[in-house]
Amino acid sequence: MALIALAGQAAPAAAQFQVCNQTFDVINVAIGQEQARDFGREGVFQTEGWWTIGANRCVDVIKDELVNRYIYVFATDVFDQPIVDGTDEMCIAPKRFVIEGIDQCWQRGHKVARFMEVDTQAVQRWTLFLKDPLSN
């Protein structure tokens, strides 16, 4: 399992939510977040993936300023083994995807994954660092 380091940023940054891979492996990342409320309906959760991030690289996964305090992250290694511990079940797909809703994943032809909740402290920019457990 990868260790997680979280950092809020007030300084200028190109990304609004960035994931940095500080492991020795290539990782694949998916995110989940509540979508904006429109036409009077409640916000709906949406998952999106995949971003492939090389070792010691960062990728902008959300380019707009953050509007949600909580962003959900799921990451796997190249062997499809999860590298973060999460408790929130959401839908994923094997290839690039955008999935609306987090319920009945199997019935809708998707897989279920356990996403980790990231509390961005309600800032507009956030960077998530994924680290190898042996590098402290």
70, with CB counted inside 10 A (0-12, 13-18, 19+), is middle
Answer whether residue 100 is part of any domain. Answer: yes
Cα(4)–Cα(112) distance, rounded to whole angstroms?
22
Answer whether residue 76 is part of any domain. Answer: yes
How large is the average pLDDT for residues 103-110? 95
Answer whether residue 69 is part of any domain. Answer: yes
Answer whether residue 136 is part of any domain. Answer: no
DSSP code of 82?
A: B
Cα(105)–Cα(130) distance, rounded to whole angstroms?
26
Q: 30 is in which domain, residue-wise? A: 3-131
pLDDT-based confidence at residue 85 (cuts at 50, 70, 90): confident
Domain total in the chain: 1
CA angle 23/26/27 to nearest 5° reads 90
Could you report the per-residue pLDDT of 24-74, keeping only the tens digit for each? Answer: 999 999 999 998 665 555 678 999 999 999 999 999 999 988 888 999 999
Average pLDDT, the chain: 85
Q: What is the pLDDT of residue 132?
A: 74
